[in-house]
Amino acid sequence: MEFEDYIRGVVAAEMPAAFDIEALKAQAIAARTFAYANLIQNGGSGCAKHKGADVCSSVHCQAYVTKEERYRNWPASLANEYWSKLTQAVYETKGMVITYNNEVAKHIKYHSTSNGKTENSIYVFGYQEPYLVSVESPFEEGTPSFSSKVVMKKEEFIRRIKELNPEVSISSSNLAKQIKILEWTEGDRVKTIKIGNKTFSGIDIRWAMGLKSASFTINIDTKNVTFNVKGYGHGVGMSQWGANEMAKRGKNIVRYLSIIIEV
């Protein structure tokens, strides 16, 4: 497959085509950088789940859709316009990748929506990169996944906690007193939380409770446990909705790239 055509399929899968063209260009550059760094012929490690493949087409690496698949999910009246917009975003950034210290950046990350700040990669992936630190990500308050709520019965909460760690000692009476957020990350996400006699990571609680992110607070009333959640995704790297909000305010992605190399 032609490399840039693959990138177009990734942008089609990873970002709504209704987004601003500058956001789509940012996504194209992020997707291209990730793919390029993964290429086995470039010394990349390929996809860890599919031996011998450079990348896979699931969220494990980055999602990819064919033109036919994409057209099926777009309103027929907009499909041609959307496809040419994606083509423009990819071909106007053709060959552009993100570099750090004159090398193609190895760990390019992106996520749907931040909570107002991006996350330092150390808290999510266990490694640090100078370009994956926590920074302000403004303008996202009005976007669809900025705030969400998950409500469940106390008993359901306890069931899920016990599934996570069968040795946890917890009871539904005085539940609020048995839950305490211990530490926050730099990006204002829950790092550790004590529940009963055990300590959990915010990320484990996110997955166990079906939360959109680890940026949450908890309210407990007589019957229910309510999670108030901010943002969507791990929070590392580029916020896609944040990029779109910046683009709508006239920001131009290519201006921010210090070094561009042809790949």
In the complex with Zn ion, the residue whose CB is nearer, 33 or 143, is 33
Say how far apart CA 248 and CA 243 lie, in whole Å.
9
Q: Helix (H, G, I), strand (E, B), or coil: what is residue 79?
A: helix
Size of the site for Zn ion (CB under 5 A): 5
Per CB under 5 A, 10 contacts Zn ion? no
Per CB under 5 A, 13 contacts Zn ion? no
Per CB under 5 A, 39 contacts Zn ion? no
Per CB under 5 A, 153 contacts Zn ion? no
Among 23, 29, 47, 89, binds Zn ion (CB under 5 A): 47
Q: Helix (H, G, I), strand (E, B), or coil: what is residue 94?
A: coil
Nearest distance in Å: CB 57, Zn ion = 8
Nearest distance in Å: CB 58, Zn ion = 6
Say how far apart CA 67 and CA 8 lie, in whole Å.
9
Evaluate whether 57 touches 64 at the Cβ level (below 8 Å). yes
Site for Zn ion in 59-78 (CB under 5 A): 60-61
Site for Zn ion in 89-128 (CB under 5 A): none
Strand duo 190-195 + 224-230: pairing:
unpaired
Tell me how crowded residue 175 is: count the other CB atoms within 10 A of its CB. 19
Strand duo 198-201 + 190-195: pairing:
antiparallel
Among 21, 56, 152, 257, binds Zn ion (CB under 5 A): 56
Per CB under 5 A, 214 contacts Zn ion? no
> What does the binding site for Zn ion look like in residue numbers (CB under 5 A)?
47, 49, 56, 60-61
